[in-house]
């Protein structure tokens, strides 16, 4: 069964409903107000007429020498006004055509009365006839209120017909406007449905407007751009990563095949095993880096932050690299002015420095130099790893921190292109940053900034 709760209605109907309800309240209040004003004015005016009629009758009596029993020319007063003249004892004298019920009302004081006779309302006004301050008789004037009742009834009918009509027209207009305003949203929904079926290249491309819907559409498109780019990157990464793993595996397979294809000498087996061993070490390295990256993406890497003495960590790492550097005839020097303490995960921090120093050695030719320094600046420790190596061209600069990006595969055969992206992730994770300055053929300078433990 369909649920007909208001909150389940389409927005366009909701808006229209609210709008119509508000209009209904306003119209009703407004109409009541108008009705009251008009009925007030009509009643006020009839009272005014009645009093001026009474004055007219009085002035005729006055001009006739206060003879209340004379014949008043009937036509001189408003034909809608009926009157009767009483003597001081309340006996009716001359009268116009007037209902006996009105004549029979008691007389004796100045007053304004409303009476209902045969369902018709009358207004009755009594006023004394004064001669030198003495009451010598009474004038009673009366008017039927039928025309006011009729006029007000007509007004009521008009109001009762016009309110629903206004409501109907306003709702129609409101629905039309709501429909127009909400149309782009329907379009957005439809497009989003299509996109969710798998076509990420679709865009709304609505005409740019500064209204709410226009901004929504632009934001939606921008979000899709980012989403598409990141998914593309993700797919590229997956395919590059498998490709990366395939190379050592094909080497291993080839070696094994060759070794098994006939009788070989012990020396040849040994050579084959050495190659297999090296290649599997390479694979191991790649896989552990990939694992680190995927854990960093998932956010499942378990950290262990502790307060570390940067100089000591760096000294150990430099010592580890000393042998390789000597083999390549590269001088490594490490300088630090002060003791620097930071809060960090030791494994990750070590990985960060190893990746940078490993690159510096790899991309520096024989006889080159690597200078490492640690300093303090404001609330940061600045770690600089500078080499006199082959440098990085301006075109490559924007990409070197990308996953699997390698400037030249042939010049870094041991690498995977993951080192710098991991290093950057570690720096970011520690609320620091990793930057590079480099010039082709004259060396590179990697700068790490990490917040001090204060």
Q: Of 299 and 398, which CB lies nearer to Mg ion in the complex structure?
A: 398
Q: Which stretch binds Mg ion (CB under 5 A): 209-217, 346-354, 364-372, 408-416?
A: 408-416
Name the residue nearer to Mg ion (CB basis): 310 or 418.
Answer: 418
Nearer to ligand ADP, 199 or 395 (CB): 395
The minimum distance between CB 411 and ligand ADP, in angstroms, equals 7
Please give the Cα distance from 114 to 47 (Å, whole number). 11
Q: Phi, psi at residue 383, to the nearest 5°? A: -110, 120
Q: Which residues pair with 139 in a beta bridge?
A: 85, 127
386 binds, among ligand ADP, Mg ion, none (CB under 5 to 8 A by kind): none
Residue 417 binding ligand ADP, by CB under 6 A: yes
Cβ-proximal residue to ligand ADP, closest one = 415
Do residues 117 and 101 lie in contact, with contact meaning Cβ atoms separated by under 8 Å?
Answer: yes
Nearest-10 Cα torsion for 95, 100, 101, 102? -10
Burial 93-116 (b: 16+ CB within 10 A, else e): ebbbebbeebeeeebeeeeeeeee
In whole angstroms, how close is the CB of 335 to Mg ion at the nearest point? Answer: 23
- Residue 372 binds ligand ADP, judged by CB under 6 A: no
Pairing assessment for the beta strands 369-377 and 331-336 based on DSSP bridges: parallel
CA nearest neighbour of 145 among 124, 125, 122, 126: 122
84: which strand partners?
Answer: 95, 140
How many amino acids of this chain bind ligand ADP (CB under 6 A)? 22
Q: Is 336 in the site for Mg ion (CB under 5 A)?
A: no
Q: Counting contacts by CB under 6 A, is residue 289 touching ligand ADP?
A: no
**Minimum CB–partner distance for residue 312 and ligand ADP (Å):** 24
How far apart are alpha carbons 452 and 343 in whole angstroms? 7
Asked if residue 359 binds Mg ion (CB under 5 A), the reply is yes
Q: Is 389 in the site for Mg ion (CB under 5 A)?
A: no
| Residue 416 C-alpha from the chain's centroid | 43
Asked if residue 368 binds ligand ADP (CB under 6 A), the reply is: no
Could you say whether residue 415 binds Mg ion (CB under 5 A)? yes
CB of 248 to ligand ADP, least distance (A): 14
With vertex at residue 214, the alpha carbon angle to CA 209 and CA 218, rounded to the nearest 5 degrees, is 110
The 423-452 site mask, x for binding ligand ADP (CB under 6 A), equals ---------------------x--------
Strand positions, DSSP E, 299-379: 305-309, 331-336, 341-345, 369-377
Q: Is 412 in the site for ligand ADP (CB under 6 A)?
A: yes
Is residue 137 near ligand ADP by the rule CB under 6 A?
A: no
Our finding on whether 400 is near ligand ADP (CB under 6 A) is yes
Q: Print the binding letters for residues 348-367 with ligand ADP: x by CB under 6 A, - otherwise.
A: -------x---xx--x----
Distance CA 264, CA 248 (A): 22
CA–CA distance, 356 with 360 (Å, rounded to integer) = 6
- Listed ranges 148-156, 202-210, 372-380, 398-406: which one lies at the site for ligand ADP (CB under 6 A): 398-406
| 406 is a contact residue toward Mg ion (CB under 5 A) | no
Interface contacts to ligand ADP, rule CB under 6 A: 355, 359-360, 363, 387, 389-392, 400, 405-407, 412, 415-421, 444
């Amino acid at each position: 069964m369909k649920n007909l709760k208001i909150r389940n209605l389409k927005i366009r109907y909701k808006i229209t409903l609210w709008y119509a309800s508000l209009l209904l309240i306003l119209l009703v209040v407004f109409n009541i107000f108008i009705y009251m004003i008009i009925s007030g004015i009509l009643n006020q005016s009839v009272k005014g007429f009645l009093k001026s009629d009474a004055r007219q009758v009085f002035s005729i009596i006055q001009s006739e020498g206060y003879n209340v029993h004379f014949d008043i020319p009937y036509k001189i007063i408003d034909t809608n006004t009926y009157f009767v003249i009483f003597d001081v004892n309340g006996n009716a004298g001359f009268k116009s055509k007037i209902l006996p019920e009105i004549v029979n009302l008691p007389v004796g004081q100045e007053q304004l009365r409303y009476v209902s006779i045969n369902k018709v309302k009358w207004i009755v006004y009594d006023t004394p006839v004064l001669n030198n301050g003495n009451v010598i008789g009474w004038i009673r004037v009366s008017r039927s209120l039928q025309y006011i009742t009729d006029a007000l009834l007509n007004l009521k009918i008009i109001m009762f017909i016009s309110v629903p009509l206004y409501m109907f027209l306003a709702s129609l207009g409101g629905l039309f406007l709501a429909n127009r305003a909400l149309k782009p949203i329907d379009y957005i929904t439809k497009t989003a449905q299509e996109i969710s079926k798998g076509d990420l290249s679709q865009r709304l491309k609505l005409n740019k407007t500064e209204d709410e819907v226009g901004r929504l559409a632009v934001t939606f498109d921008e979000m899709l751009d980012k989403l598409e780019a990141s998914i593309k990157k993700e797919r590229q990464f997956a395919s590059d990563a498998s490709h990366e793993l395939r190379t050592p595996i094909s080497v291993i397979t080839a070696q094994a095949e060759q070794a098994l294809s006939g009788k070989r000498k012990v020396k040849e087996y040994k050579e084959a095993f050495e190659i297999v061993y090296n290649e599997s070490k390479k694979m191991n390295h790649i896989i552990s880096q990939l694992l680190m990256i995927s854990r960093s993406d998932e956010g499942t890497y378990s950290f262990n932050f502790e307060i570390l003495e940067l100089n000591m960590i760096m000294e150990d790492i430099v010592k580890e690299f000393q042998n390789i550097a000597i083999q390549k005839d590269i001088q490594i020097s490490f300088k630090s002015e002060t003791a620097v303490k930071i809060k960090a995960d030791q494994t990750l921090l070590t990985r960060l420095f190893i990746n940078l120093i490993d690159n510096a050695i790899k991309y520096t030719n024989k006889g080159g130099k690597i200078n490492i320094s640690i300093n303090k600046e404001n609330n940061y420790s600045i770690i600089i790893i500078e080499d006199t190596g082959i440098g990085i061209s301006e075109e490559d600069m924007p990409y070197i921190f990308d996953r699997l990006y390698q400037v030249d595969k042939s010049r870094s055969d041991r690498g995977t292109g993951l080192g710098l992206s991991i290093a950057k992730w570690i720096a970011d994770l520690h609320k620091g940053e990793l930057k590079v300055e480099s010039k082709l053929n004259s060396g590179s300078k990697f700068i790490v900034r990490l917040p001090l433990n204060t």
